[in-house]
Amino acid sequence: MRGISILLKLLLLVTMIIATMVNSVPLNYGDALTKSILFFEGQRSGYLPASQRMTWRKNSALKDGSDIGVRMDGGYYDAGDNVKFHFPMAFTTTMLAWSVIEFGDLMGPDLQHAIEAIRWGTDYFLKATKDPNVVIAQIGDPNSDHGCWERPEDMDTSRKTYVVTTSKPGSEVSAEIAAALAASSIALRKSDGRYSRALLLRAKLVFDFANNHRGSYNDSIGDGACPFYCDFNGYMDELVWGAAWLYKASNDKTYWNFVKSNIQSLGSLSEFGWDSKHAGINVLISEVSRVMNDPSNQNPFILNANNLICSLLPNSPTKAVTYSKGGLLFKPGSSNLQHVTSYSFLLIVYARYMQVNHKTINCGSVVAKPTDLIDLAKSQVNYVLGNNPLGMSYMVGYGLKFPQKIHHRASTMPSIDVYPKHIGCRDGDKYFELQSPNINQLTGAIVGGPAEDDSFQDSRFNVSQSEPTTYINAPFVGVLAYFKQSKS
């Protein structure tokens, strides 16, 4: 019995050593960056270009917009469904552009693919804003779409076009599109000056439409937006966000004055994502207006940005988030990795602004240096890529162990190359219910992520954990570019 006991202890020790080795494997940020950008090709709608690398995806939704006599092919599917929700799509495009603005010089050969991902969004938004006083806010009836499990190439669900107008406004979706166009005009300035100028001009027109005809798209398009992408905190944050990007893109003081006069009307200054732009506004403006040079440190944008950082740092007395035992940041709600990637982006961007201006942050008794912010972001990146209790990467196709049964229609069903026959509304159910891995690998997709106890259910049925979204990936592009080159 004693020998068995010793043997069991040895086995346990070996298991622990192996687990430790698995959970702290060296990470290849460059490989992750390449794959994080490739993911967007799997989300493309419309006519796919000859350069398409994710070849199991094919042309889809080619008649979008035909119900109102416009051509609206293109754009991105937001997640594992086949609807083009323009509100989160615009935020995705804004964050891709911000990633290139801040970190494009670190991307190497991936920069061109990042630019292509941005232009896939902006080409589409130029179509959506072509007519004055009309902004196309969404394509596809989400209730019809969510009742089917179909490839995007086969869709026969309603492709209803939702629009916002002067009489039925949608300030949040319109202002976010304006932000996306303005940010992209900066990101694309070096590669295509003429296109960049066209984006900025359109951004100004769309912002004016959003600001002059105020109202929520929740009311104007009803169940097209809700409960899927309701705006829960009003549209003023999008208006201020749009003005901030227009100021950065144009240096027009009109937009700066708009930001200054409206920033105090915003609440919940620590939120950032497709719905809430508050924290992003303060981090962006801290650099745009050079307010960080204020020796008194009393500028409201700096105070707000500093408070954001203090709400995130694990040892801060004003911490407002939680961390799992494995070290992952958590906020209430589903698809938690959307918070992880967005906050990691802001942490790095703000740390770089702090470094340039030789600043630290006082969080009560804790003094935070730029390196503290970067270390926190790096811990989150490393967790996502595999340094976690399960030794699992939450990016599909990265590492040896990653989610195999993600909640994503196109990924679960055979490509048209393999099965050219039409797959109807409920015909895809048999693929959804399979216990085997998805047929097609959506390389680079970051899923919703683990539960707060660090567990993960690799199941298509667990939407919150297993569904990827474009707005989870978009901030991570910049984050990975930074760590690809950083010596931190």
- Which residues are catalytic, by number? 81, 407, 458, 467
DSSP state of 137: E
Q: Which two tokens stand for residue 55?
A: 């070849």
d(C-alpha 271, C-alpha 253), whole Å: 26
Helix axes 300-312, 337-357, angle to 10 degrees: 130
Give the alpha-carbon dihedral of 290, 294, 295, 301, to 10 degrees: -110
Compute the distance between CA of residue 172 and CA of residue 218 in angstroms, rounded to an integer: 9
**What is residue 2's DSSP assignment?**
H
Partners of 329 in beta bridges: 323
Closest CA to 363 of 401, 409, 419, 307: 307
Strand partners for 76: 44
C-alpha span between 312 and 52 (Å, rounded): 39
Tell me if 323 sits within 8 A of 390, measured CB to CB.
no
What residues contact residue 485 under an 8 Å CB cut-off, 6+ apart?
Answer: 106
Helices (H), 399-462: 409-412, 429-432
For β-strands 361-363 and 366-368, DSSP reports them as antiparallel
Structure tokens at 292: 């960080």
What is the C-alpha separation between 488 and 412, in angstroms, rounded? 39
**CB neighbour list of residue 260: distance below 8 Å, 6 or more residues apart:** none
Long-range contacts of 1-8 (CB under 8 A, 24+ apart): none
Q: How far apart are CA 8 and CA 458, in angstroms?
A: 30
Angle between helices 370-385 and 337-357 (to 10 degrees): 150
Q: Collapsing DSSP states into helix, strand and coil, what is residue 84?
A: strand
